[in-house]
Amino acid sequence: MLPGLGSSSDVWKHLWVDLQGYEVHLIEVKGFAGLPAEDNAGGEILAPVADEIARCIHEEDLTDISIIGHSMGGTIATLIAARFPEDVDRLMVVDIPAFFGAIMGVSVDQIDPIAGSIRLAALSRSSEERERAETAFVEAGVLSESERRSWLICLKAILLSERRHSMN
C-alpha cells in the first residue's frame, strides 16, 4: 500500500482491520510525510521507488500481489505494473491525477475529443517520432528527463492495452 504525496502509511490504517489474514506491506517514501529525504533529496523519485518495490517483491519471492496506491502512490503503483507486469496481479489506484483536463479547468465532454486525438496520434506514431516529441518537451522544460521516462513507461502500457483491446 503506497501513500500519497503528503501522507504516511497511516492513511491506510482504516483498512488494516479488513485485511487481517493477508500479508500487508505499508510503504513509506523518504522525503514525504515528515520522513528525512536521504537518497530522495535530489533527482528522481517515482521510478527509483517503483524499482525498489519491484526488487523487494523479487527478493522476498512474493506472489499474488495486489498493489494499492493513493495519488503519488497510485502513480508509483502504475509504474510498477507497467514496468513489471508479471509481478502485479491486481492494481488499484485512488485519486491518481489521471484526468489532465481538470488542470486546465475543462469538463470531460470538452476534453474527450482532445484525449481521443492524443491517443490516436500516439498509436500512429513510430517510437522514433514519440522519442523526438518527448525530447522536445524536455528541452522546452515541460518535462524533466526522469518525468519523460516515467510517462513513456505509462504511455507504453496504455498503447499495449489499446492494441490488445483492438485485437479482441
pLDDT of residue 54: 96
The pTM of this model reads: 0.58
pLDDT of residue 58: 95
Distance between the two ends of the chain, CA-based, in angstroms?
32
The string of pLDDT tens digits covering residues 120-148 is 665 566 777 766 766 665 665 555 666 55
- What is the three-class DSSP state of 158? helix
The string of pLDDT tens digits covering residues 66-119 is 999 888 888 889 889 888 989 999 888 887 765 545 555 656 566 566 555 655
CA angle 130, 5, 85 (to 5 degrees): 50
Pairs from 41-50 (Cβ < 8 Å, separation ≥ 24): 43/146, 44/146, 46/72, 46/75, 46/76, 46/79, 46/146, 46/150, 47/79, 47/146, 47/149, 47/150, 47/153, 49/76, 50/76, 50/79, 50/80, 50/83
Using only the alpha carbons of the chain, give its radius of gyration. 17
